[in-house]
Amino acid sequence: MSELQIKCVVWDLDDTLWAGTLLEDPKVTLKPRVPDIIRELDGRGILHSIASRNEYAHAMDQLKSFGLHEYFLYPEIGWDAKSICIQRIAENLNIGYDTVLFVDDQPFERDEVASVHGDVWCLDSSRYLDLPDHPRLKPRYVTRDSVMRRTMYQDDVRRQKDEETFVGPQESFLRELNMVMEISEAREEDLLRAEELTYRTNQLNATGETHTVESLNDIRLRDNHKILVCELADRYGSYGKIGLALLEFGSTAWRLKLLLFSCRVMAKGVGTVFMSQLRNAAKERGVQLMADFRDTGRNRMMYITYAFAGFSEKAKQDDGMVLLENQLTDIPPCPDYLETNVNVDWSSL
């Protein structure tokens, strides 16, 4: 079983979240401590969803009566196989199966999910009281972004619904979002979130490396390094700090030792915008721009991101690290639908 931190707990309903079968008994009652557990995990930045065989409206009304409906993102309530429900939830949240926990009282349902999605952690609901103390559900730190994670996903749902009903090209919709991207040097108070990003971001982490607050602070204090953080906001609210870069500077070359972005924002073009800003800064100072990439089996999209930004392979190391080089030509301008504020002191390099 994977040891990655769980990003979403997917709950069955009948005889799991509550005692009884809703279609047979309209007076079902919640299992002991269920609300406390859901709220506690939510406060740690762990999301919740549902995979249940039930009538959608009836089940949601019951959850509303318990005051819990707002905690569940992309609930799958119907008659499809649970494996299909898990697939939809993971795709909507844009998370890996190995960060999903499925809780169900029925061995058949757990076995069906496990047979299709072997990376999903399937747990007998009789053990639900153990969840708050399990290491995979106890992040090392809880940041502001953690606390706001569900709200930020709910903002995403509103964006998606509005985009689906928008008449016109996607770029016109993006322009109406009034997006603002901030690129700044990490301060000490940013390091908790920076560590969290390295541990949570798997698909869009260029090297797969993780860092602690202590190792990040050590890097931040070095004269020849900078840690950059990216934050994004629009008219719906803040996406939080969604990008991280570790840069090593030399007199003739800059080296991007680590680059990662949250999966939630890559479709907004933030990776391309960041690359353009960095490429222009290197070009203005007459230095080469290099980058590290290591294939983890899950981060191929970052290699594609580098390739689209003009990077090509220069050398391969024995440890699997690939050194990329950028020619700093044909740098695209930032799109007019995204305002970019760069608060980085390049002159100190």
Per-domain boundaries in the chain? 8-137, 144-348
Q: Where are the alpha helices (DSSP H) in 1-148?
A: 34-43, 56-65, 82-93, 107-116, 144-147
Q: Which residues contact 328 (CB under 8 A, 6 or more apart)?
A: 279, 282, 283, 289, 310
The pLDDT of residue 333: 87
Question: What are phi and psi for residue 146, nearest 5 degrees?
Answer: -60, -50
Q: Quick: pLDDT tens for 288-308.
A: 999 999 999 888 888 988 998
282-292 confidence digits (pLDDT tens): 999 999 999 99
pLDDT tens digits, 173-222: 888 889 899 999 999 889 989 998 888 877 788 999 989 999 999 999 99
Residue 66's pLDDT band, with cuts at 50, 70 and 90, is: very high
Q: Is the pLDDT of residue 230 over 80?
A: yes
Query: pLDDT tens digits for 122-153?
Result: 999 999 999 999 999 998 888 888 899 999 99
Give the number of other CB atoms < 10 A from CB of residue 233: 16
The 10s digit of each residue's pLDDT in 21-58 is 998 887 899 999 999 999 999 999 999 999 999 999 99
Determine whether domain 8-137 maps to CATH 3.40.50.1000.
Answer: yes
| Total-model pTM | 0.82
Dump strand ranges (E) for 108-251. 121-124, 179-185, 225-234, 237-249
* Mean of the per-residue pLDDT values of the chain: 91
Would you say 306 and 206 are in contact if contact means Cβ atoms under 8 Å apart?
yes
Assess whether pLDDT exceeds 60 at residue 1. Answer: no
Mean pLDDT (whole number) for 312-341: 89
Angle at 264 between CA 200 and CA 143, to 5 degrees: 45
pLDDT tens, residue by residue, 260-285: 988 777 666 788 888 899 999 999 99
Lowest mean pLDDT among 102-116, 161-175, 260-274, 324-338: 260-274
% of residues, the chain, pLDDT over 70: 98
Nearest CA to 262 out of 240, 243, 237 is that of 243
Residues 22 and 13 sit within 8 Å (Cβ to Cβ): yes
Residue type, 343: N
The C-alpha atoms of residue 103 and residue 294 are separated, in whole angstroms, by: 34
* pLDDT of amino acid 99: 93
CATH topology of domain 144-348: Aminopeptidase (3.40.630)
Kind and range of the H or E run holding 199:
helix 191-200
Spatial distance between the Cα atoms of 300 and 302, rounded to a whole number of angstroms: 5
